[in-house]
A and B are shown apart, each in its own frame.
Chain A
Amino acid sequence: MRLLQILALSFLVLAAGCPKEKRALNIARKSVEISAQTVQLADLQVSFLYQDAAETCLASWDTRASYDACIAKWDKTVLAVNAMKISLLSLETALDAWEAGSPNGRDNLLGAAACFVETMVNVQSLLAVLGTDVPAINQGLATVSGMFGEGGIACPQGVTP
């Protein structure tokens, strides 16, 4: 999927200090929109998988404690999906600040993007433990992880939701 290739490319353009800032900002905005649609799609898919898992757990167990244990990993995934959403909203806030001329705007934006990637990795890991996956996240991560790896700006500690 090309959506996070666009995201990575747009942040690369921003990081390089491209003189055509307005165009770069527009690309970044479109990338954030496409990322939001990816998060929305992933959230919807997890919600359907959660419903199926909850129905199975409810039918399989006779006590609340055993039901809670059965659904616990899915509960963690729901939290992780929400963290991914919050992280993308933070990224958008960082983009707003950069556009408004914040002195550290560009670095904050790259840091926020790295945090967003971390939350995607977390969702991917949790889904892998559950024996399933969301293709949009897998394909997006394959492209973006290289961009924010060695030499990139890391997610500031304590920022990841």
Chain B
Amino acid sequence: MNWSSVTKIIPSVISFVGSMIGTRKRPPKRADEILGGADELTESQKAKAAADAAADAKFGK
């Protein structure tokens, strides 16, 4: 893994740890509230869509 990926993910890790601490004191959130519904794109799907668009721009469709 390169360091730019590590740096980008640090805020999410901090948020994750914070929410793990917070979950003891409040009602649990639903998974669909955190992740979105089944038809909602994941972050990695969005990254793929952006990369596909870049490849389309370079090579044509």
Chain A residues near B (Cβ < 8 Å)? 3, 26, 29-30, 32-41, 43-52, 54-55, 58, 63-64, 67-68, 71, 74-75, 77-78, 81-82, 85-86, 88-89, 91-92, 132
Contact B51 A54 (CB under 8 A): yes
**Which chain B residue shows the least CB distance to A49?**
B5
Number of chain B residues close to chain A: CB under 8 A: 36
Determine the distance from Cα of A54 to Cα of B23 in the docked complex, in whole angstroms. Answer: 36
Interface positions, chain B 1-17, Cβ under 8 Å from A, are 1-2, 4-5, 8-9, 12-13, 16
Contact A50 B51 (CB under 8 A): yes
Contact A37 to B30, CB < 8 A, known contacts A48-B5, A86-B38: no
Determine the distance from Cα of A52 to Cα of B61 in the docked complex, in whole angstroms. Answer: 22
Chain B residues near A (Cβ < 8 Å)? 1-2, 4-5, 8-9, 12-13, 16, 19-20, 23, 27-32, 34-35, 37-38, 42-48, 50-51, 54-55, 58-60
Contact A48 B51 (CB under 8 A): no
Contact B5 A37 (CB under 8 A): no
Contact A47 B47 (CB under 8 A): yes
Contact A43 to B59, CB < 8 A, known contacts A88-B31, A92-B30, A92-B31: no
